[in-house]
Structure 1
């Protein structure tokens, strides 16, 4: 019954919110965010705990201010996502501005293939729609299987409708398919700042240990593709901003494991700088740092379950 209700609510969002005038949808999102923030539920408290690591000197008042802005940013993501299927091409193209996009375009023009790795900042679905619409570049990503299956199907259909190829994480074939796309000179996009599975790579992140997926770094090593970090953020306008950062190089020496660790740490460093600049747009409402995990390995959050469905965080744990 819980799964059926969840599926019905998401279905209602896509069927109803997309028909609302944009100012109405914006106000609705802010209202829902403020109600959730006022209730101080687990997700809000976890967000504040995570933000306290990003700004360790922040006062309680500053953290509450950040978490309220964070919830508004999180609901802006959802309002945009529910409305994206109804957006015109012009609205998508004018709704995003990405600095140094030439780094992506040059990499694709060279035929090397490109891996884009992003943290949970702002709206990566909107960024993906902008890439397929404005640049005319299709790409491949990975999605986590959801329950019920109808909800997973909703998210796959939503992203495929935006021009993305979506691969299921389960089954073990995602990595090989991604590698083939890259060797053919294609584009792969992966959200890559959280992986609590055993295959996650331990990194230093805001002064403590977290795990991030190995997939982006391994794909770059095995295919020769460029690995480009991207960070996104909102400002007070309807436009979402972003930046393509310089490519993370493959180390010249070391084992594959050592190279993967070094490259994943380099990604973590770039992610950290982007999150520090725009902490209110980091939608991390789950546990991330190993020190925050409960002792029981069967805990649902420790297993890597997320509050935002069907997001890809790398080929090991999308």
Structure 2
């Protein structure tokens, strides 16, 4: 019954929201966000707890303001994502205005492939559509299998319709395919700011220990493809902003594990800069820092169980990255 309800809700989202006039859809998203925020449920409370680390000087009122803005940003992501398949080519191209585009184009021109890694900021799907439309560049990502299977199938079909190749999370098989795409000069995009698996790399993140996926750094080290962090944010317009950061330095010495650790820490530092600048656009409604994890708690806060199925661009349990958005 729960699986059927989940599938029905997603189906209604894609079938109904995309038909609404854009101002109506935006207003609906804000209304839903405000109602969810007022209920003070587990996701909202966790978001405020996470934001308290990002903005340590914020008092209760400021954190409440940030979490309310955060829920509006989160629902903007969903309203936009439901409507992305209806966007014209020109709308998709004009919906994102990043800086540092030369970092990406120069990396692609070098012919070694490129790994883009993003945190859960703003709308990573819209950024992906911009890559396929504005740059004409296809890319590959990874998605964890969701329950029910029909919802997973909807997400795969949705992303493939936007020009993305979506691989199922199958451990080493997915990693091997990603590596082949990079060796062929292709692009891999992974959301990579949360990993609760045994293979995750421990990093210092806003002064405390968290675990992030090793996949982006491992792919770069194994294939020679540059690893570029990407951060996103919303402003007061319909155009999302972003920054494509320069490629991370590859350590000249050390074991593979040591190099992976150093590069993942550098990635976390780049993410932290973007999140600190735009904390209201960080959609982290789950536990992240190791101090918050409790193995005795239910699995509703573990990979694959994000509220609203937040599985964008990677996979928490996969060497290839987060649960890819």
Unaligned segments of structure 2, at least 5 residues: none
1:46 equivalent in structure 2:
46
Structure-2 separation of matches of 1:216 and 1:297: 29
Residues in 2 aligned to 1:191 and 1:302: alpha-carbon distance in whole angstroms: 16
Partner of 2:177: 177
- The CA distance in 1 between the partners of 2:37 and 2:147, in whole Å, is 26
Q: Distance in 2 between matches of 1:146 and 1:261?
A: 29
**Structure 2 vs 1, CA of residues 127 and 31 (structure 1 numbering), >3 Å: closer, same or farther?**
same
Distance in 2 between residues matched to 1:248 and 1:171, nearest whole Å: 25
| Post-superposition offset of 1:311 | 2.1
> With structure 2 as the length reference, what TM-score do the two structures score?
0.95
> Residue deviations 1:239-265, cap 9 Å, x none?
000001111121000000000000000
Alignment check: 8 A CA contact 2:205 2:269 kept: yes
- TM-score, normalising length from structure 1? 0.98
- 2:311 corresponds in structure 1 to 310
Match of 2:286 in 1: 286
- Of 286-295 and 228-237, deviating more is 286-295
What is the alpha-carbon root mean square deviation over aligned residues?
1.2
SS at match of 2:236: coil
1:1-318 to structure 2, matched below 5 A, reads: 1-170=1-170, 172-296=172-296, 299-302=299-302, 305-307=305-307, 308-314=309-315, 315-316=318-319, 317-318=322-323
Q: Secondary structure at the match of 1:203?
A: strand
Distance 1:176 1:16 in 2: 38
Q: Displacement, 1:90?
A: 1.1
Cα deviation for residue 4 of structure 1 reads 1.0
Residue 234 of structure 1: how far off its partner (Å): 0.2
Judge conservation of contact 1:217–1:263 (CA < 8 Å) in 2. Answer: yes
Runs of 4+ with deviation above 4 angstroms: none
Whether the 8 Å contact between 1:211 and 1:290 is mirrored in structure 2 is: yes
- Superposed displacement of residue 110, structure 1: 1.1
The answer as to whether partners of 1:196 and 1:304 remain within 8 angstroms in 2 is: no
Unaligned runs of 5+ in 1: none
- Larger mean CA deviation between 127-136 and 296-305 belongs to 296-305
